[in-house]
Amino acid sequence: MEETIDARGLACPGPVVLAKKALEGSARVKVLVDNETAVENLRRLALRNACGFAVEGGEGGCWEIVITREGPLAEAPAEASPETRGTKAPRAAGPTVIVFAHDRMGGGDDTLGDILLRAFVHTLLEVKPRPDVVVCYNGGVRLAVEGAQTAADLRALAEGGTEILVCGTCLNYYGLTEKLAVGRVSNMYEIAETLTAAGRIVRP
């Protein structure tokens, strides 16, 4: 049975996220997109999972993509051995910790940085394995307060078992202590202890 997804107008990684979810239950998925970036992202999704890929259109800025799955979707190689990962070392023991020190992602344009970071936080709900701990300090505490567009996604992470640590000194500095919406107030000792015990630290 074919499932059709209208992903036109959705920003990255929306089309890929929807397609991947659909492929978990359907062997054939049709996706409508309106930009070439989405086409290439879906092509990589199909390639990574050994799926068939066909694309039609392009005229008028609309593409119709069909992805066909013959086997199960690929699992994230979280614990792959050195033999299966070339020269890379195995993942170190200890939790995966994501650190948000800013409320933007990357340098350059702040508006783009805000869009990228919101997309990154939302995508954390789809990746496997999910992070064990999220640490927010300095400007990163703004991601976890009332009114932040990232608060709902962080709350969903917390409900799924991810621990959210938010620097109390930073909340106080920015006058946001009473506006904390998700996670718990932490301190530098606990943050330092968490980072030094981490198996992997990611700083987007």
| CATH number for the domain harbouring residue 182 | 3.40.1260.10
Residue 21 in domain: yes
Helices (H), 26-150: 36-48, 110-123
Are residues 99 and 179 both part of a single domain? yes
β-sheet bridge partners, residue 96: 200
Question: Over 70: is that where the pLDDT of 2 sits?
Answer: yes
Prediction pTM value:
0.69
Question: Over 60: is that where the pLDDT of 83 sits?
Answer: no
| Token pair in block for residue 190 | 């606990």
Torsion of CA 101, 187, 160, 131, to 10 degrees: 50
Are residues 62 and 113 both part of a single domain? no
pLDDT grade for 92, boundaries at 50, 70 and 90: low
The total number of structural domains in the chain stands at 2
Are residues 63 and 97 both part of a single domain? no
Per the rule left: phi > 0, alpha: psi between -120 and 50, beta: everything else, 34 is: alpha
**pLDDT exceeding 90 applies to what percent of the chain?**
64
Residue 77 in domain: no
Residue 83 in domain: no
**What is the pairing mode between strands 63-68 and 133-136?**
unpaired
Domain that holds residue 30: 2-68
We report the CATH number of the domain holding residue 32 as 3.30.110.40
